[in-house]
Amino acid sequence: MFVLYGQAKLFLPQSSSLKDKRQVIQSIISRIRKRYSVSICEVDYHDLWQRSNLGFAAVCSTYTEVSLITDAIKDTLDLYQDSCELIDFEIESIKHGL
């Protein structure tokens, strides 16, 4: 079993209010949650209009699944290139064996 966790720091240049930011971030979060069964939420920069930090975590049975989920999160963020830019993407995975 593997535990995957990480963060994605985003810049939202088109956002002119917290409402604009919230629409984009909620769209990203709901898309990732529904499609990939990943726990994800905004963990920092709540009061800034053009910055966001998304934290995520998942439990995987194989390392291949870790790679698939990581790629899926990056691909989803790429779909929102017109709304946000990926500044930093960090992941860690821990193998937990019994």
What is this structure's pTM? 0.83
Q: Which residue has the tokens 């069964």?
A: 37
- HSE-CB at 84 with a 13 A cutoff on CA atoms is 30
Q: Which residue has the tokens 């909620």?
A: 26
Domains in the chain with CATH codes: 2-95 (3.30.70.1120)
Phi, psi of 30 (to 5 degrees): -65, -35
Please choose, from the candidates 3, 4, 5, 18, the residue with its C-alpha nearest in 3D space to the C-alpha of residue 97.
3
Q: For residue 55, what pLDDT is reported?
A: 95
pLDDT digits (tens), the chain, 98 positions: 889 999 999 999 988 898 889 999 999 999 998 888 889 999 988 888 899 999 999 998 888 888 899 999 999 999 888 888 999 999 998 887 65
Q: For residue 82, what pLDDT is reported?
A: 87
Containing 32, the helix (H) or strand (E) segment is: helix 18-36
Q: For residue 52, what pLDDT is reported?
A: 92
